[in-house]
Structures are given as structure tokens and as C-alpha cells.
Amino acid sequence: MNIFATILTYPAPSANYRGESEQNRSVIQKVTQGRFEYAIMSPEAMRNALREMLRCYGLQCNRERLHNEEQLAVSFEDYPDPDKYADDFLFGYMVAKREQVPKKVISQRGGFQFKRDSVLRMNLAKALQPYRHDAVFTQSPLTVKNPNSPWQNATTSAPLHREMSLTAFQYPFAINLNDCCSEDSSQEKKRKEWLRYLLKGISELNGVAGNHARSYFEMAPASIVIRLSDSVVAGYDTYGFREDGSFPEVVDGILHDDYPGKEFYFGGQIVKQALDDCVKKQLEEKSVNLFRMAYQTLDAVAETVTGQGFASSAL
């Protein structure tokens, strides 16, 4: 069985999904679709935020992000071990230099997995509306030398040019639940717990991109559409949210019996605002699961696939 989902965030102005700077200009990363450019956030950034959230939840994680280095940096607790560390199991890894793993470690584990695919598959978060070439200008202050201070920091003032965008983002993810199975009952119980925490983390995803000193953009779902199915493909446009918050391809497909309604879970603003009462009644008659809050949708899916939700219990 597979989980296929598309999340739509709330819209907000932000510049925290930026790429490399050109002199003092912070440039938003973009992708072109048709005639327009759309701001994007990488799945790597979202996965990194989820790793940090799992660590905050108290799960044992192998990789830790280091924030006081001159460049992006991480450290590891141990050699990769998907049976011990939640992040090694959920997000995968690759040992770049196999000779770094001692033969003793390989023999102690009865073999060693040098690379592992991610259980969680994600794609780029793409802006719902095109980039409009908005920008803001600020200025960093001149630091005046203080005879009573041991340092001065910046010796000059500089204008700062930041590209900005006001938009919501949508992004898909998928999970093959067969990857969470194990012949060892205790190991399978642990994997289900990790999966439950992962779905909880997605329900309140935050801290995804950089530039947090200036920008705040939540990646938690305002709306979510989930398909829980034996199909190995979602079978619809996984970037199907429209600017009004609707998801017409899936809604129309369910109403015309293209998809089995009982496989679908809708939650958040799409239920509260985008669907009118007549359509909601028709979807309910097709056995679609409707929730007013997005986190309730993920909680219901967690309960279905792991036997326990996260919203009504203390994890």
C-alpha cells in the first residue's frame, strides 16, 4: 500500500527560499513552467527540517545539523544504522567512501548496507503563483568602533537587495508502506512509531529554508489531499492545487468514478472553503474522508496505517 499526498501551504510574503547571492542581492530559486517563473523550495531543505523535528520529538537520529560553521555542515553519531536511527531509516543515506567503515563493524552487524533509499519520497515545493519580480531594499548599519568594545564587526554599511514573493507553495510526497514492514515484530513496531512521528512532523512542518533571521514561512499544510492505495502511482497531477485552493482533477475524477472515493482523504481549507456544501455531500456519498483541519487528515491516515494516531495521544 502507498500514501500519495499533495500539501498546499498558507500564502505569506517571504524571501527565505533563496539561492546564492549575487553581490548584495539575495536571489530566490525558481523554475520555469510555460511562460512564467515560479519560486521553489528543495525537497532536501524540507527533509532536513523533518530530521530536526524528529530529533526534537525525542527520536534517536544519527545526523545532526551544525549551525555555527562557515558552510552547511552536519555531524554523525555513528555509522549508518537504519535499525537504530529513525533518520537513517526514513530518509536513507549513502556512504561515500566505503573504506571508512571498519571490517569489524561490518562483521558485527552481519553485513552492512552502504546505501539506502529514502522511505519518504518528496518533490520540489513550487509556488502557486508566478514570481512577479518583487524586491525589497534594506541597509546594514555601519558599526562604529567603540573604545570599550573588543570588536567592531562590519566596517562599512551595505545596501541589501532581496527578491520577494507572496504566494502559497504546494508539494507532493509519497511513502511505500511495504518499506516499513519487517519480519521482526519489535522492529516493525519501531518503524510504525517512526512513521507516525514522520506524519506528525509533516502536519506541523516549519523551519524549512534559511534566512530565518528575516523571514518566517510555514510549510505545514493549509490544505491536503491524500490517496491511500495499492496503486503504485498517484494517478493524477500531484501539483493539482489551483489558485483558489481547489483540486479539480481529483474532485471531478471521484465524482465520475475515475478513482475510488474511499481511498481519498481531504483536509483543511479545501474542505472549509474551496468545496461547496453540494460537492462535499457528493464526496461523502462516494466515501471520501473529509476533515476540517489538515492535521486531522494526517492523524487519520496515521491511525489507519500504524494503528495509532498522533493528535489525540501524547507521543
> Whose grid coordinates read 531543505?
45
pLDDT one digit per residue (tens) for the chain, 315 residues: 999 999 999 999 887 666 556 666 778 889 999 999 999 999 998 999 999 999 999 999 999 988 888 777 889 999 999 999 999 999 999 999 999 999 999 888 887 889 999 999 999 999 999 999 888 888 888 888 888 888 888 788 888 888 888 999 999 999 999 998 888 889 999 999 999 999 999 999 998 866 655 678 899 999 999 999 999 999 999 999 999 999 999 999 999 999 999 999 999 999 999 999 999 999 999 999 999 999 999 999 999 999 999 986 544
Query: Please, are residues 262 and 301 in contact by the beta-carbon 8 Å criterion?
Result: no
Residue 95, in any domain of the structure: yes
Q: What is the pLDDT of residue 300?
A: 97
Residue 234, in any domain of the structure: yes
Residue 283, in any domain of the structure: yes
Residue 252, in any domain of the structure: yes
Query: Structural domain tally of the chain?
Result: 1
Residue 128 CA to residue 244 CA, distance in Å, equals 10
Q: What is the pLDDT of residue 145?
A: 84
Residue 16, in any domain of the structure: yes
Residue 282 CA to residue 251 CA, distance in Å, equals 10
Pairing mode, if any, of strands 12-14 and 115-116?
Answer: unpaired
**162 strand-pairing partners:** 26, 136
Query: Please, are residues 267 and 296 in contact by the beta-carbon 8 Å criterion?
Result: yes
DSSP 139-168: EEPP----TTSS----SS-EEEEEEEEEE-
Question: Which of 170, 142, 143 is closest to 41 using CA atoms?
Answer: 170
Q: What is the pLDDT of residue 314?
A: 44
**64 strand-pairing partners:** 75
Secondary structure class of 265 (helix, strand, coil): strand
Range of the domain at 202: 2-128+165-306
Instruction: Identify the sign of the CA torsion 53, 294, 274, 304.
Output: positive
> Whose grid coordinates read 517512526?
194
Q: What is the pLDDT of residue 216?
A: 82
Q: 37 — phi, psi (to 5°)?
A: -100, 145
| pTM of the predicted model as reported, rounded to 2 decimal places | 0.92
> Whose grid coordinates read 507516525?
196
Residue 155, in any domain of the structure: no
Residue 107 CA to residue 116 CA, distance in Å, equals 19
DSSP state of 274: I
Residue 198, in any domain of the structure: yes
> Whose grid coordinates read 512564467?
36
How many residues are present in the chain? 315
Residue 150, in any domain of the structure: no
Q: What is the pLDDT of residue 53?
A: 94
